[in-house]
Amino acid sequence: MAAYSNLGFVGLGVMGEPICRNLVRKSGARVTVFDLAPEPLARLKADGAAIAASVAEVIGQCEVLFICLPSAKHVRDVFEGDGILKNIGKGQVVVDLGTSSVSQTRDFASRVKTKGAVWVDAPIARTRQAAQDGTLSVMVGATAELFAALKPLIGCFATDVTLCGGTGAGQVTKILNNMVLFQTVNALSEAVALAKRNDVDPALLLDTLSKGSADSFALRNHGMKAIVPGNFPERAFSTEYALKDLSYALELASDAGLRIRGAELTGKILQEAVDAGSGGAYFPVIAKHLDGDKRAMIDRFAGLTPTRSRAVVHDGLVLTVAVAPDPVTPSMYEQTRKALARIDESLALCGTDKAKILSAIVYINGMALKGEMNRAWDEWVDKANPPMRACIGVELEPPHIVEIVVTAAK
């Protein structure tokens, strides 16, 4: 099929496992795989894949390395240390199938280039069923020559493969796809809620809309299959992951000097769902909270500044938000460090600690100071159990320039 006879694959999650299985079955190449979970490794071994003990071992046995990981942080984890950058060599190609930060994508591409390797961004779109059926859509950032060489391999798991431009263009396209999707799902949630309150059957509403100009993929899938029946499973595309992807769009807007208000509002709606305990649920769960489900009660704890630090305890989860206590300095590093100390205090009062943090959202007043925030975060975070984290540029109330929201297990 392709000029490549040895492939590698890292990241065998909900999407990665079926994508890799299609490569094993259709590519005609030897596929060496690695994941931290033993179960998908065992299943893919039964399908004919070779099993490696580490990322480094996979790189040592492949010409093209596919990675399919849930966030930019996970990609960074396999890039650094005894991972991609250390072990990649001349002529090898890394294909990132996840949705990731454009700035990180371009940075990694420039760094592997110094080793004679190439980084291709090829984020995937569509559903888990599409991954199983081999009917995904893939948006590629690469040269035309490399795109032509890789397209037969990508065609093993995708029916629509689009060259979007050079390095990073695939990520830009996918990020904007998701931005539009999230806003569309919010509009559908509002329409269904209004229909219910006005005695119109939601299923009838969406069926009727599907016959007119309001029809969309989101309506027929997220609307009819999730919002109307109230089906918001775990291990689907979660609210936390949606918020993470939306943060990349807001980062792009900040870098471009644009304010995208619809996306900002959708980010707030997603955050409300996370705060209400639905961070791990399929992201159309925002409809559930819009339609009047009882919100978690906010408890204020002694020792926390009333309007600056607060905590929510709900269904075994602790959700807390903090900024630096007054008086504050204009230093992003110092404000972040003090806000994180407030997070520690809040978690302790709620009977947990940072080792049990599941996810974090950091809001900063301008992305130009993100590096200083990252420095304070990296000094503070539990390195043995780092949580998924998104960073979003927003306008905060002066003099505060950083606000941190975390979700932790009780």
Please, what is the Cα angle at 265 between 72 and 241, to 5 degrees? Answer: 25
Collapse the DSSP code of 31 into the 3-class scheme (helix H, G, I; strand E, B; otherwise coil) and give the result: strand
Under a CB-based contact definition with an 8 Å cutoff, are residues 332 and 362 in contact? no
Under a CB-based contact definition with an 8 Å cutoff, are residues 95 and 105 in contact? no
Under a CB-based contact definition with an 8 Å cutoff, are residues 336 and 365 in contact? no
Under a CB-based contact definition with an 8 Å cutoff, are residues 141 and 120 in contact? yes
Which of 45, 113, 151, 174 is flagged as catalytic? 174
DSSP 236: S
Q: How many Å separate Cα 248 from the centre of its chain?
A: 9
Phi-psi region of 259 (alpha: psi -120 to 50; beta: other; left: phi over 0): beta
Measure the CA–CA gap between 370 and 367, rounded to whole angstroms: 5
Collapse the DSSP code of 147 into the 3-class scheme (helix H, G, I; strand E, B; otherwise coil) and give the result: helix
What the block records as the tokens of 47 is 């399908």
Is 225 among the catalytic positions?
Answer: no
Task: Classify burial at 308, counting beta carbons within 10 Å of its beta carbon; exposed 0-12, middle 13-18, buried 19 or more.
Answer: middle
Q: What spatial distance separates the first Cα and last Cα of the chain, rounded to whole Å?
A: 51
Measure the CA–CA gap between 90 and 61, rounded to whole angstroms: 13
Active site residues: 174
